[in-house]
Amino acid sequence: MLGPALLASVGLSLSSLSTSGWAQTVAADAVTLPAVSVTASAEDPAKQGKTIDAGALGSRKQVDTPFSTDVKTSEQAQDLMATTATDLYKYDAAVSESSNNRVSENSMFTVRGLPIDTLNGIKVDGQSFPSWDTDLSLEPFEQVQLLKGLSGFMYGFGSPGGIVNYVLKRPTDDPYRSVTVGYETAGVFSEKVDLGGRFGNDNRFGFRLNLVNEDGNTEEPNGHVRRQVASLALDFRITPDLTWSVDGFYQKRKTNGTLFGLMFGTGLGIPDASSINRDLTQPQNYYETEMASFGTGLDYRLSDNWHASLKYRFAKENRTNSDSLIYVYDQAGDYSNTLYAAMTRYFYQNVDAMVQGQFNTGSIKHDVVIGAGYQTQTSEYSNSEGWNEGFSLGTGNLYSSTLLSNADVNVGEDLYRQSRTTQAALYASDTVQFTSRLSALLGVRYTQYRENVYDPGATVTSQYSANPVTPTLALMFKTDPYSTVYASYVESLEQGGSASNTNLNYPATFGPLRSKQYEVGFKTDHSRWGANVALFRVDQGYNYTNTENVFVQDGTKRYTGVDAGGWLQLSSEWRVLGGVMWLDAKAVDIEDPSIEGKRIYGAPRFTATGRVEYNPSYLRPLTLAFGGKYVGNMAVDAANTQFVPAYVTYDLSGKYETRVAGKDVTLRAGINNLLNRRYWTTAWGYYVSPSPTRTAVMSATMEF
C-alpha cells in the first residue's frame, strides 16, 4: 500500500511521547513547532505534558504511570491551529476520526477502536462535563489530557475508549497578554484574546480571561460557522498554603449545512466518497449547542508531603439539532432525506474531595490517595415529531444536487426529563515503592450507581441500581530514571446503551456494561529520543443493532492490539516522529451467528502516522513540517456486510517567529488534507460521515 509505505519513510513516533521529549531539545535550540504537529515548545517543562492528572491517582509524571496517556498543551493547540480535541490528537496512531464538525454534528474520535463516551468520558479539571455531540473549545484550557483505555478506578463510570480531561487555564504569576487573528478558507475569520496576571496586596488575587469570536462561511456546501467563547478564572491566595478558586465558562456554536449521517440499505455497497456529490445538505440543516459552567474549589497544602482539595462544578448543555439522516435505498444512489429537529438538554453537578500524601514504613515508600465524590446527571429530551419520527424532506440522488425542504419543520422544545443518574463514590490507592526501581499500584473504587429512565408522562420506564467495586492493579519497574516497564489490570463500568429513534425497540435502555483491560507496556523519554509500546486487551459488553434493526446488548467486544511509536532528533535541524497501531477487534460469545467472530464496526485494523520537521540553522525562527496519516478500512455494521475503505491524508505547515514594534509575533499557516482526499468515517454502527475538504488555515499572534 502506498499510504503505509510512504508514512514509514517519513519517520517513527507516537505523539504521546513527542510532547515531553521534544520540549527538552527545543528548549536548547529556542525553537517552537509548526501547525498540524503533535509536539511541544520551549516553555516551562511543567506544562509540556510530563505530568497528567489521573483522577483518583492524583498528579503523576506520564512516564511513571502504568497506563497509556497523551497530553497536549495550549501552546500546541495554537501551533496546530486546533479548535477541537480531534485536531489535537490527529497524529496519535491510536486515535481515528469518526466525524468532523464542519460536516457533521461534532468532531469525535475513537481510541484503539473504541469511541469516547461523551456523557461520562469528557472531564473539566477531572470532573464530569456534558459534551453530548458537541465540542469543547480549546482556547480556555491549558492542557488536554487523554487517558487511553479503561478509567473505572480513576474516574468512575465511563466507556473503555478513554477519558479526555480538559484542564482550565489559571491565573499567571507574570502578566500575560496576547491577541490572535485567524482565517480559514473559504471565509471564516476569528479573533481571540487571552489575558492573565495577579493584583492586590502581595499579588494574592489572580485572573485569567479568554474571549473568542469565530464567524464565516466554510468550504462545505451551505456551510457557515459561528462560535463565541468566554471564560474567566479567578483565585485568591488566602494564605501561602490555602487557595480558593472560582471559574465560569460559556460557549455557543452554530453550524449550518450539517448532516447527521448516511445509512446504506441492506445489500448495498458504500461508493467511493470522491464519486458522490458534495452538496447533500439542505438550507434547513443546522446544528447548535450552548454550554455554561461554574466551578469553585479550595486547595490546601497540609504539609510538605500532604495535600487536600475540595471542588464543585455545575455544567449545562443545550443542544438543538436540525440535521438530516440520508437513507440510500438502491444501487443507483437514490435516497430519502429525513430531518430530525429537536432540543435536548443536560445538567451535571459534581462534588469531589481528595487527600494525597506520602509516608514511609521502614524502607518502603507509600504515595496514597483517598477521596470521595458525588455527581448527578440529568437529561431532558423533546417529545415531538421532529425527535421521534422526523420530517421528510423528500428524495434525491447521491450523484446530483437536489433542493429539498419541508415547511412543517420546527424544533420541538417540549422537553421532559428522560433520565437521571447519580453516582456516589469512595476510592483509595497506594503506590508502594519497594526499591528505587520497583513499585506497585493498588487501587479500588466503590460506587453507588442509580439510574432512572422516564417517559413523557414522568413514569419510570426502566430503573437500574448497582454498587460495584472496580479495582486497579499494576506493577512498575524503572529500567532507568527516564524509562518504565509496566503491567496493569483495570476494570470499569459504563452506562448501558439505548435504542435510537431509528430502531424498532426505541426507546429501550439497558443496564451498565462491565469492561476489563490488560496492558503491558514500556515508555521512555530521553533528551533526544523517546519511545513507547503497549500491548493491550480490552473486553467490553456489546451494544449493537442486529439484522432485524433491533438494538440489543449481547456478548463481548474484544480488542487486542499493539500501540507503539517513537521520535528521534536526527540533528539540530531535523526531527522525525510517527506511530503505528495494529488492532484485532472482534465479537465473541454472541448468540447471533451473523455477528459472532465478526470485526467490530468503526475499528480500523491498522493505522500509521509519520511526520518530518525541519528547523533550518540559518533561519531559526522558521519551522516547516510535512506529515501524513493512514487509517485502514473499517466495518460499518455489526454483521460486516458493509465497509468503508482505507484512506491516507497529508498535511503541510509552517511557523515563523518575529518581532513587530518590539512585540513578539508568531505567524502560522498550514494546509490540512493537502491532496483533497475524500473519505468516509464511521464509529456508531450503520452510519457513515463524509470527510471535510482541503482547508487552508492561518493565524497571527501578538504577545505584549
pLDDT tens digits for range 530-545:
999 999 999 998 888 8
Most confident residue range from 218-222, 242-246, 405-409, 511-515: 242-246
Task: Inform me whether the pLDDT recorded for 308 exceeds 80.
Answer: yes
Q: What is the dihedral of CA 538, 541, 546, 552, to 10 degrees?
A: -170
**120-141: b or e for each residue (b if 16 or more CB lie within 10 Å)?**
bbbbbbbbbbbbbbbbbbbbbb
| Helices of type H across 586-637 | none
Residue 50, pLDDT score: 63
Taken in order 92, 66, 166, 236, is the CA torsion positive or negative?
Answer: negative
Check residue 21 and give its pLDDT. 33
> Residue 686: what pLDDT?
85
> Considering the chain, what is the average pLDDT of its residues?
88
* Residue 367 to residue 305: CA distance in whole angstroms: 9
pLDDT at 171: 97
The Cβ-side half-sphere exposure at 237, using a 13 Å CA radius, reads 18
Ranges assigned E (strand) in 265-305: 286-301
Tens-digit pLDDT profile for residues 264-286? 998 999 999 999 998 899 999 99
Helices (H), 342-472: 385-388
Is 177 or 50 the better-scoring residue by pLDDT?
Answer: 177
Q: Which of 506, 498, 545, 543 is nearest to 263 (CA)?
A: 545
pTM, two decimal places: 0.90
Q: What is the pLDDT at residue 36?
A: 34
CB 628 within 8 A of CB 651: yes
pLDDT band per the 50, 70, 90 thresholds, residue 54: low
Assign residue 634 the CATH number of its domain: 2.40.170.20
Identify the band that residue 58 occupies on the pLDDT scale cut at 50, 70 and 90. confident
- pLDDT digits over 634-690, tens only? 999 999 999 999 999 999 999 999 999 999 999 999 999 999 999 999 988 889 999
- The answer to whether 491 touches 514, Cβ cutoff 8 Å, is yes
Burial tier of 695 (Cβ tally within 10 Å: 0-12, 13-18, 19+): buried
C-alpha 241/C-alpha 237 separation (Å) is 8
DSSP string, 74-131: HHHHHHHT-SSHHHHTTT-TTEEEEE-TTTSSS-EEEETTEE--TTTSEEETTEE---
Mean pLDDT, rounded, for 306-333:
95
Give the total number of structural domains in the chain: 1
Model pLDDT, residue 151: 78
Q: Is the pLDDT of residue 40 over 60?
A: no
Residue 673, domain extent: 2-703
**Interval 46-51 mean pLDDT:** 48
Do 100 and 689 contact (CB within 8 A), yes or no? Answer: yes
Region 371-383 average pLDDT: 94
